Structure 1
């Protein structure tokens, strides 16, 4: 299972990088979304996937004797999801505003427009 998820992480990174290298700003945002999903999957894999109990220690025990799920990667992924949502929202509004002003989402045409003005 981990091998499949590791391959999927690599595919997400490759697809995201490919989309970022395109000339369109919309494809750039899609590439950022794909790379952030790949990063979330990587953090999840680094925390080791285990089928276990929640990490709650009963009062009568001092240490864990059973396999438990690690809560730190899950908390990091949840934080990363919230931050990436804010970044995506800002980027979408920024691209919309740039499209309104320049009437294109092609990065090369935007640079040419700056030189002509």
Structure 2
């Protein structure tokens, strides 16, 4: 049995095209990406299922001549699922067009945060300071090696307090960025 590589290459091209379309901000392209990706996966499953054969009825044909029914059943199920997802996305595209007059997905505050972090390359100065204080406290704790129970309890409390302050600073930073109050974000709409 020889297997041609052309269907595998076509399936790979369809899957690559579908994934590329899924990464777009346009809902129509996302819809097309789901359809193309579904067809590419279906072609891949059917192609990898083997060549044609006799119907899979025991007693009438030899088992080595029978076609494998599992890939066909999987593709049939995938077609139904792809149809359902396509109908849902089509309704979402239609509703988005009705509400906004566009099919582009708008940036939200999380997109702004990601863009800000990519531009800055790191956390804000306040959060870095809190992290450094926490690291310094841990280093002091390792150096002091308290022997008394009370000293250990005090160090544990100091560590908890430093960790609480660091988490509080991170929450404040995230809330500030979520509200887009960062001066680096101005004029970035």
TM interval, short-chain normalised: 0.7 to 0.9
TM-score (norm 2): 0.52
Q: Considering Cα pairs closer than 8 Å and 6+ residues apart, tell me whether 1 or 2 has the greater RCO.
A: 1
Shift of 1:66: 4.3
Give 1 or 2 for the bigger CA radius of gyration: 2
Range moving further from structure 2, 70-79 or 11-20? 11-20
Query: Unaligned 5+ residue runs, structure 1?
Result: none
Q: Summarize the Cα distance change of 1:65–1:32 in structure 2 as closer, same or farther, 3 Å threshold.
A: closer
Mapped partners of 2:46, 2:12: distance in 1:
14
Deviation >6 Å, runs of 4+: none
TM-score (norm 1): 0.81
2:22 alignment counterpart: 20
| RMSD, aligned α-carbons | 2.0
The total of aligned residue pairs comes to 107
Query: Unaligned 5+ residue runs, structure 2?
Result: 109-178, 180-189
Encode CA deviations 1:69-91: one digit per residue, 9 max, x unaligned: 10011001001101110110011
2:95 alignment counterpart: 97
